[in-house]
Structure 1
Amino acid sequence: MGAGARGGGRGGFMTRPPVRGSGQGPASGRRQRKASRHGERPSRRLPLACSLPPRFCLLRRMWPQGAIFVALPLLGPIVVWLLAGRRMSGWCDGPRKLSWCPPHKILLPVWMTIFSLMGYASYLVWKDLGGGFGRPLALPLGLYAVQLTISWTVLILFFAAHAPGLALLHLLLLFGLVVSTALIWHPINKLAALLLLPYLVWLTVTASIAYRLWMDSLCPEHQPQPAGQKSD
């Protein structure tokens, strides 16, 4: 019986290490038991991998997708800057200079900041609807894609084509699309809808500038003449 007991003890001893950590020590066994106990509740595993508050840990886990959503709207301003960067300095200078017209050096940075906020807002909507490419995302993100395309078109018309009249038409259409997007996003994520408010303010300022430039292009005789030059 002593041998049997010892054999049984050895048999029992031999079956325990794979469960406790496959012979890798007690610390590894404890980690695996914790992982198995919390396998059905991933949220409880956050403190093991992240020392930040749970919300920040969740943002860290979703970082790749969030970065894509934030970076996507910036493609338009970057392309416009590369194509028309040298021609932007005179877009609101000379006889058409407006006292409330923002300097050209801050125009694209402002657009990029607003686009970043808009991209993050779209990420919040995408995340709250479950992610992926399901049918519930068709209307909220489809409308967002349309207004983002028109936003890029406005930049091209303003700074590359120098067509304030066409830019004004697109801005009016864009304003309505952004309002519609905010109304659709509000039941899904209130913060995402609020992040579109700075965009609406900036569109109002841009539309006012476009209207003034368009009127000056239609009626050049009413433009103020440079100093030292007399009218006929």
Structure 2
Amino acid sequence: MKWGKLIISLAIPLAVGAVAGIATSSNVDTWYPQLNKPSFNPPNSVFGPVWTVLYILMGISLYLIWRMPVSFARNNALRLFFFQLALNFLWSFLFFEWHLIGWALTDIVLLLVSILFCIALFRRVQRIAAWLFVPYLLWVSFATALNFAIYRLN
């Protein structure tokens, strides 16, 4: 195991999540409570722990891909990983910081599609890395439905 690569692989998504969390936290107690939300909206206390676990799984997945021999498929998998991570990062700002619920919905749909492509591409490079993205896919599917419902209700 290459500890440096593992630490960097974990640090990248966790850092992205921490910065996005700053944008989120400044509006969770002020703007977000004023929105009409669907009955399936979870309590705010659920989001932080779930995202932390997902960012850790993403980091492990990144490490598993990164440690593979250099190849066209591996490099594309890495590029797609960072693309989806950028969409993930952008969503928090669109939704919470800038209150652009419709644009956030567009972003999260693109994120969902990119996660599906990541899983497909990761599977060719390292199967466990693909499986580690499945909880992320499930959560973002739920988050997409939640974003859509909030968009419709507001």
Residue 72 in structure 1 maps to residue 9 in structure 2: no
Gap change, CA 1:125 and 1:80, over 3 Å in 2: closer
| Structure 1 unaligned blocks of 5 or more | 1-58, 218-232
Q: Letter of the aligned partner of 2:67 in structure 1?
A: K
Q: CA deviation at 1:174?
A: 1.0
Any conservation in 2 of the 1:87–1:159 contact (CA below 8 Å)? yes
Higher mean alpha-carbon deviation, 143-152 vs 83-92, is at: 83-92
Mapped partners of 2:114, 2:126: distance in 1? 18
Aligned residues: 154
- Root mean square deviation, CA, Å: 2.0
The whole-number CA distance in structure 1 between the counterparts of 2:122 and 2:34 is: 42
- Aligned partners of 1:74 and 1:80: how far apart in 2? 10
1:144 aligns with 2:81: yes
Query: Structure 2 regions of 5+ residues with no counterpart?
Result: none
2:26 aligned residue (78, 86, 89): 86
Q: How does 1:1-232 map to 2 (within 5 A)?
A: 59=1, 62-90=2-30, 92-94=32-34, 96-129=36-69, 137-217=74-154
Larger relative CO (CA 8 A, sep 6+): 1 or 2? 2
Question: Aligned partners of 2:111 and 2:5: how far apart in 1?
Answer: 26
1:92, 1:101 within 8 Å by CA — same for their partners in 2?
no
Q: Quick check: 2:73–2:121 contact (8 Å CA) kept in 1?
A: no
How far, CA to CA, are the matches of 1:84 and 1:210 in structure 2? 14
Deviation of 1:198 after TM superposition, in Å, equals 0.5
The change in CA–CA distance for 1:68 and 1:95 in structure 2 (over 3 A counts) is: closer
Separation of aligned partners in 2, 1:110 and 1:157: 20
Distance, in Å, in 1 between the alignment partners of 2:99 and 2:137 is 22
Q: 1:169-208 deviations in whole A, cap 9, x for unaligned?
A: 0111111111111111112211100011111111111111
Return the alpha-carbon distance in structure 2 between the equivalents of residues 97 and 175 of structure 1: 21
How many Å apart are 1:142 and its aligned residue?
0.7
Shift of 1:99: 2.4
CA distance in 2, matches of 1:198, 1:87: 26
Larger Rg: 1
Kept in 1, the 8 Å contact 2:57–2:132? The answer is yes
Which amino acid is the alignment partner of residue 158 of structure 1? Answer: F
AA in 2 matched with 1:126: W
AA in 2 matched with 1:215: R
Q: Which has the higher helix share?
A: 2
- Supply the distance in 1 between the matched residues of 2:3 and 2:35 (Cα, whole angstroms): 47
Q: For each residue in 1:104-162, what CA deviation from the matched residue of structure 2 results, as whole angstroms up to 9, or x when unmatched?
A: 233233222212101210110111225xxx75542110111111101100121122122
